[in-house]
Structure 1
Amino acid sequence: MERHVLTNTSAVLRRAWHCVAESEEVTEEPSRVWLLDEPWVVLRVDGAVRAFVDRCPHRSAPLSIGSVVDGELRCAYHGWRYDASGTCTAIPALGDDARIPGRACLVRPHAVTERFGLVFLAPDEPRCALPRADLLGDETFAVARCRSVRTHVGAAQLVDNFMDGAHFPYVHAASFGVRDATAVDSGEVVEDGWTVSSTFRAPYRNHDDPAVEEGTHPLVQPHTVRKVGRADLICELELSFELTGGSFRILYAVTPERAGTTRIHKVIARDDLHHSPGRIERVAADEDIVLGEDLRILERFDDASLDVSNRTEISTRADRLSVAWRRLLVRATADDEAARSGSGGANPGPKLS
């Protein structure tokens, strides 16, 4: 079997949306973000987010150390100016009647946009659309962002972990996991284009249910889990609680910034908090603890890459969703290779035991 190894610099991840910043981090002052080991400059022009490869085509100075003048990005090195489309409008050293070379333009991504209070950038045309705008619910949902975290764990490893449910009783025993609920039915996997999903039932320690403190509901409650993975590094999760009728939704987006740096973003929404002041913030803080539990394991791994087709790993039925997600990336990698070579045929990926 041909090996397909994902790292934070894998070219297959160029055809994907990536969260590169929180919305308030992008201002009218240019700033640098990293994606797939490539620097980008991001800024706002007339309120809209713009992004370009962080390199002036004149003498390769980083544009992120420049400034915005009259709505245009000005390079700090020689003052060359670029409009919102990245076209050069002025070369001060040549005067007002300068003949501007046709190649004097900035490299733009395929697209950049904002959603969920985050800024997303797609270097090349993405295989998947961004998650739908109503993913986090309507006005009945309270929404909060969790603390953004940087780690040396590989981005693909983090998604692989998010797709997995068999670690809950062990890694999350101190938070929501149930120690003796070790048997896992991960549900049937539904494949739809470049997405995979599964829905299954599992016990959950629902600390956020006020009826638990009142003694009318047990702490351990049944709930339905729906996870969605895509041919990128953005995941969706919805928990539905039978006893409360509540819904808990999570958007999980990890950014492969550089070879040894991944940034993690998580946005949560719940409709069972009855708009109680401060409760959604407490839930977000609890989710920070959950992430910390994952990182305590993942940051001890010896390798930050993920071999999505390595048969030295043993996969079982409990791993169906993570295996299906790995197969998406195997197929995407093979499709990219086929496009470059003019051939076809994607490897289906690892088997289940």
Structure 2
Amino acid sequence: MLVTQQPVFRNFWYPVVPLDHLSPTKPFAFELLQEAIVIWLDEAGQPAAAPDRCCHRSAALSLGTVKDGCITCAYHGWQFDREGTCQKVPQLQDKTMIPKTYRIPSYHCTERYGYVWVCLGEPLQPIPEIPEASDAGHRVIHEFYEPWNCAGLRVMENELDLAHPTFVHTTTFGSEEHPIPDSLAVEETDYGLKIRATLGVVNPELQQKNLQMDEGQTVRHLDMDWFMPFTCCLRIHYPNGLTHMVVNTMTPIQDGRSQMVQFCVRNDTEAQTAAADAIAFDRQVTLEDKTILETTDDDVPLNAKYEQHMMTDKPGLLIRRRIAALLKEHNETEQTRHCD
């Protein structure tokens, strides 16, 4: 499946940039589902989004500035508000003379979890709900915001694949003694999937520091959610009561390129575990995954016959079936390079 060739994916929310990356005077350019968009802060300091193209002579609006909450085109100075309405044309003395046709499209745009989320179409589902992120007993640690050269669907399957840690995460937590999970239960939900599992792991020195424990071996109790189409939330529960949550969204840029947005949520304090240490360990884990995933085919086949499978692939196969059903529901056929 080629994600940019399936219009239905325009109807989901994606995080596109950390809110603190935005300037009150300078717009921000991004590519979402192969479409150039521009993001800026309106007069209330809230993010707004539109195609990165002026309706006058098609110049990139991201080259311009932001003034009084309006994005100003660098070519002729036309200004547009968050709804796309032209508020100023310097070449016209009277604002009432601006034709109603002087406007640009606008996109759904809001802030959540410290990121700007954008939906190019009409949202089919809300932004994934992560209750712990606003709970006083937890803290949010922003980790990674970077492009990966792979399909988001591959990463989602990898997040829920409990057979790969033994072989991929050899320097972090993978245990040779536990090549498969001790238990695995999968439940379909209205938003995607819920997975509960237990997995034996090892704990190198840095991880022991993060977990506030001196054990080299332990069991991870996993409570995982997949939110259609490309967000996973992994709640990792440890025997000492610590919960380390990893929230990961792969925002589709192009078919073979995604923006990896990841933050973690923990029920401890900075005094117990420094955020920098938690990030450092998760950095090792993500780089081990990235090395493998960037070698995979970005055209992920929804039809199971094109790849071979084993019992631990059940979550991934259910993801593919749910996406295939989504395409069918919206009268779309799978766009793919695979041939019968």
TM-score w.r.t. structure 1 length? 0.86
Hey, what does 2:338 align to over in structure 1?
none
1:330 to 316, 324, 327: 324
Match of 2:261 among 261, 265, 269: 265
State the distance in 2 between where 1:212 and 1:262 align: 30
Change (3 A) 1:227 1:218: same
Looking at structure 1, the residues matched to 211 and 86 of structure 2 have their Cα atoms a distance apart, in angstroms, of 62
Quick check: 132-141 or 198-207, which moved more? 132-141
* Unaligned runs of at least 5 residues, structure 1: 341-345, 347-353
**Residues of 1 paired with 2:9 and 2:96: CA distance?**
40
What letter corresponds to residue 253 of structure 1 in structure 2?
T
Correspondence 1:24 to 2:24: no
The alpha carbon displacement at 1:152 in A equals 1.3
Q: Describe the SS at the equivalent of 2:237.
A: strand
- Displacement of 1:136 after TM fit? 3.0
User: Any conservation in 1 of the 2:3–2:9 contact (CA below 8 Å)?
Assistant: no
CA 221–8 in structure 1, closer or farther in 2 if over 3 Å, else same: farther
1:127-171, Cα deviation, whole Å (9 max, x unpaired):
222122523362332331113222211222222211211101110
Q: CA RMSD in A?
A: 2.4
Counterpart contact for 1:32–1:64, Cα < 8 Å:
yes
215, 220, 227: which one aligns with 1:218: 215
Look up the match of 1:283: 278
Q: 2:307 aligns with which of 309, 313, 324?
A: 313
Q: Percent identity?
A: 25
- Specify the alignment match of 2:9 in structure 1: 13
Name the SS for the 2:184 alignment partner: coil
- Quick one: which of 102, 105, 127 aligns to 2:103? 105
1:63 pairs, out of 57, 61, 64, with: 61
Q: Is the 8 A contact 1:143 1:267 kept in 2?
A: yes
Partner of 1:326, secondary structure, is helix
Q: CA, structure 1 residues 87+67, in 2 after alignment: closer, same or farther (shift >3 Å)?
A: same
2:246 is equivalent to residue 246 of structure 1: no
1:349 is aligned to none
Which one of 76, 79, 88 corresponds to residue 74 of structure 2? 76
Select the residue among 282, 292, 296 that pairs with 2:291. Answer: 296
Q: Deviation of residue 98 (structure 1)? A: 5.7
Q: How does 1:70-149 map to 2 (within 5 A)?
A: 70-96=68-94, 99-109=97-107, 111-136=108-133, 138-149=135-146
Unaligned runs of 5+ in 2: 335-340
Aligned match for 2:252, one of 253, 256, 274: 256
| TM-score normalised according to structure 2 size | 0.89
